[in-house]
Amino acid sequence: MAQRTSLHGQWSSRLVFILAVTGSAVGLGNFWRFPYIAGENGGGAFVLVYLACVFAIALPIMIAEVLLGRRGRRNPITTMRVLGEEEAGQPGWRIVGILGICAGLLILSFYSVIAGWAFAYALKAASGAFVALDSRSVAALFHLHTRSWIVLGAWHTAFMVMTVAVVARGVERGLERAVQVIMPLLLVLILVLVGHAIHTGTFLRGAAFVLRPDFAALTPEGALIALGHAFFSLSLGMGVLMAYGAYLPQDTSIGGTTIIVALADTAIGLLAALAVFPIVFSHGINPAEGPGLAFETLPLAFSEMRAGVFTATVFFVLLTMAAWTAAIGLLEPAVAWLCETREMTRPRAAIGVGTVVWLVGFLTIFSFNLLQHLRFWRGTLYANLDYFAINILLPISGLAITLFAGWVMCDNSRVQELESPSGYRLWRFLTRFVAPVGVTLLLINAGAQLLRH
């Protein structure tokens, strides 16, 4: 087979690819979900299960997704169509690409609302808005921000513009430059926060909450939470890795590179936990997850802290930056698809997709104000969108990707992409047997929850 080349250029180095994929992986999930679920489900015991899920299930799928992307060298839809045709004579596999892209855009629509909110809080924090608040005034601030769809909408707009601006500039001038600046900054900021947490006096308590293994608190349900989070945190199943894989030079090792990303993402989740919990505990506040942790619990803690203005600003800047590189990855696949198949220029495609996502984002915005009383199944419209995209669409598409890479693709094509023979066998075993079982369990669990309601 003559090798295809990407129409958008290539990553200029392996490091940039690692930064870009890590940038897509590290996001809101690392900061407000991982620390909390780890603490709630047995601390160190959970972390061990999480690592097992990452290496036995998520990493093989990640490798599969990058591999498919590099082999197809196109946007996820075209890649799945071409590979489906080549490997099995079935272009219908393109459905997997379509599903991934749509789900990714859906995720981006609410992701951007929350990220815009973090952006707003970064400026609020810097201006000293969190000084000397009590829990009532923090809640009031939260309310003030979410009550107005115009305020939430304005910040959502700002964040979408930031994201579209990067993707519009293309792989080398947009994506690469952004991750090269943001990712090192992110690392510095998080180390600053951890450094600060070490001085709170409750560092050990915070660390123990996330790290001390409590096997009694670890339930089968906790294990499924770990698996689901591994999926979300590593950005699997939405075509992001496939799109990024399409720009990966042929001689770069996929296995070695993805392992680094998986480790980096987990390390940042742990660092986030070490930064957040000591701050929470030093003020005697109960830990929480989700928007509540970032926008209520932490501001309260910051307001009581000596270097509160500084720490709060660093935290929210960090959150915004992390969400930004994740959002860039969520937008890229659809933009690549429009450029390749509709012959649009990048700026037009980015603005077009960005506008659609921006509009859909208002469903999430209204869930906090105009439509806050509209409740069904999991809660507000936002809660439902979030649950549907993350717990149902993500595993479905992940399952399809593993089955394709593990069972449909022929050995020859896979070996061409993955060099090391022993690593290859292990990967094939995990992709064929372990990953599909794990993902199926996730789906069964989500289905059971659906029925229970």
Which range in 229-237, 310-318, 335-343, 376-384 contacts ligand TRP by CB under 6 A? 229-237
Q: Would you state the structure tokens that stand for residue 259, as one six-digit string?
A: 């392992």
CB nearer to ligand TRP: pick between 235 and 320:
235
Q: According to the binding rule CB under 6 A, does residue 276 interact with ligand TRP?
A: no
Point out which span in 20-28, 289-297, 429-437, 439-447 binds ligand TRP (CB under 6 A): 20-28
Cα–Cα dist 174/25, whole Å: 18
What sections of 127-250 are H helices per DSSP?
135-147, 149-168, 170, 177-198, 203-211, 220-233, 240-245
Q: Phi first, then psi: what are they for 376, rounded to 5°?
A: -150, 160
The nearer residue to ligand TRP, 16 or 261, going by C-beta atoms, is: 261
- Residues 232-261, mask of contacts with ligand TRP (x by CB under 6 A): xx-x--x-x---------------------
Cα Rg of the chain (Å, integer): 21
Which of 238, 363 has the CB closer to ligand TRP?
Answer: 238
Q: Nearest distance from residue 444's CB to ligand TRP, in Å?
A: 20
Among 10, 22, 24, 163, binds ligand TRP (CB under 6 A): 24
Q: Does 21 bind ligand TRP (CB under 6 A)?
A: no
Residue 30 found at the interface with ligand TRP (CB under 6 A): yes
- Measured from the CB atom, the residue of 78 and 233 that comes closer to ligand TRP is 233
The Cα–Cα gap between 363 and 379 comes to 13
**Quick one: 146 or 397, whose CB is closer to ligand TRP?**
397
Buried b (16+ CB within 10 A) or exposed e, 275-293: bbbbbbbbbebebebebeb
Element (H, E) at 222: helix 220-233
Q: Which residues contact 352 (CB under 8 A, 6 or more apart)?
A: 338, 344
Rounded CA gap, 254 and 275, in Å? 31
343 SS3 class: coil
Cβ nearer to ligand TRP, comparing 190 with 330: 330
Task: Tell me the DSSP string of 66-105.
Answer: HHHHHHH-S-HHHHHHHHHHHHHS-GGGHHHHHHHHHHHH
Let me know: does 274 contact 39? Beta carbons within 8 Å. Answer: no
Return the range that interacts with ligand TRP (CB under 6 A); candidates 19-27, 42-50, 202-210, 350-358.
19-27
Least spacing, CB of residue 103 vs ligand TRP, in Å: 8
**How many angstroms separate the CA atoms of 167 and 193, rounded?**
29
Paired residues of 379 in beta bridges: 376
Please work out the total of residues on this chain that contact ligand TRP, with binding judged by CB under 6 A.
Answer: 16
Residue type, 25: A
Taking CB under 6 A as the criterion, the residue among 21, 22, 27, 226 binding ligand TRP is 27
Minimum separation from the CB atom of position 138 to ligand TRP (A): 24
| Beta carbon nearer to ligand TRP, 236 or 274 | 236
Token readout for 417 is 């992409």
Nearer to ligand TRP, 133 or 225 (CB): 225
Question: Shortest Cβ distance from residue 30 to ligand TRP (Å)?
Answer: 5
Encoded one letter per residue, x for contact with ligand TRP by CB under 6 A and - for no contact, window 31-60 reads: ------------------------------
Q: Which two tokens stand for residue 282?
A: 């030093």
Place of tokens 């669990």: 445
* Cβ distance to ligand TRP smaller for residue 224 or 230: 230
Provide the minimum distance between the beta carbon of 401 and ligand TRP in the complex, in angstroms, as a whole number. Answer: 12
Contact call for residue 270 and ligand TRP (CB under 6 A):
no
In whole angstroms, the minimum distance from the beta carbon of 228 to ligand TRP comes to 11
Q: Which x/- pattern, by CB under 6 A, does the window 304-333 give for ligand TRP?
A: ----------------------x--xx---
Q: Does 104 interact with ligand TRP (rule: CB under 6 A)?
A: yes
Comparison of 294 and 300: residue with beta carbon closer to ligand TRP: 294
Closest CB to ligand TRP among residues 115, 351: 115
Given candidates 21, 23, 29, 117, which one binds ligand TRP under the rule CB under 6 A?
29
Tell me the C-alpha to C-alpha distance, in Å, between residue 269 and each of 121, 296, 316, 434, 439: 21, 20, 16, 24, 22
Give the C-alpha distances (Å, rounded to integers) separating 163 from 106, 142, 223. 15, 25, 34
Number of other CB atoms surrounding residue 109 within 10 Å? 25
**Please, which residue, 49 or 326, has the CB nearer to ligand TRP?**
326
User: Within 13 Å, how many C-alpha atoms sit on residue 384's CB side?
Assistant: 14
Stretch that binds ligand TRP, among 24-32, 35-43, 90-98, 275-283 (CB under 6 A): 24-32
By CB under 6 A, name the binding residues for ligand TRP. 24-25, 27-30, 104, 107, 232-233, 235, 238, 240, 326, 329-330
